[in-house]
Amino acid sequence: MATASRLVTPASLDDLFLYRVNRLLSVAGSMVIRLCEGRFGITRREWRILALLAQDEGMMSSQLAQRAQLDRARTSRAITSLVTKKLLLRAQRPGDRRQVALALTEAGRELHTAMLPMVIQINKDLLGALAPADVVRLDTALDALQRRADQMVKHAELPKADRRRGGRAPRSMG
């Protein structure tokens, strides 16, 4: 008789799914950060924005923030940094000068073209720990987990985080 996975019945922090995923991202993601910062002079957030715009050029900042799952302020700072580094252009949309579309510069496209194969290789090397059939199952599982997380967030009745207060819940009086 099979026993329940430690993911289903966690006994410690090391058994929690989200903690383990975060540790994996921290370790494997550090290689991408080193590429970004050490070789290409951009942040991981800036890389995410460049990569998304390479796929879908012409997005507005608010659309990009949503796609990148970043708040608008962080997205705006990253965009400003990329414009300063001459990797990104802001172009007013015809007919509505208030709307600004974002596009990669030639230097931005070259950086993306140089970096993407390296990031793909890191992903391939990491997935090399799994058999091909397990990679397919992982892909399917990740899709299912993303759908579930999206639904959970949509229906969650949790208080908003208040990082200015250290994220603590209000103290009860009494």
How far apart (Å, rounded) are the C-alpha atoms in residues 51 and 7?
Answer: 32
Which residues touch 42 (CB under 8 Å, ≥6 apart)?
36, 50, 82, 85, 87, 111
Given the structure tokens 């494997």, which residue do they identify?
28
Residue 3: what pLDDT?
59
pLDDT band, residue 159 (cuts 50/70/90): confident
pLDDT band, residue 110 (cuts 50/70/90): very high
Mean pLDDT score across all residues of the chain: 89
Find the range with the poorest average confidence among 21-35, 114-128, 160-174. 160-174
Every domain of the chain with CATH number 1.10.10.10 lies at 44-116
Find the range with the poorest average confidence among 2-16, 118-132, 157-171. 157-171
| CA–CA–CA angle 100, 74, 164 (5° rounding) | 140
Query: Which residue(s) pair with 71 in the sheet?
Result: none
| CA–CA–CA angle 77, 80, 83 (5° rounding) | 150
pLDDT band, residue 1 (cuts 50/70/90): very low
Helices (H), the chain: 17-34, 44-55, 61-68, 72-84, 106-127, 132-155
Predicted TM-score (pTM) above 0.75: yes
CATH number for the domain formed by residue range(s) 44-116: 1.10.10.10
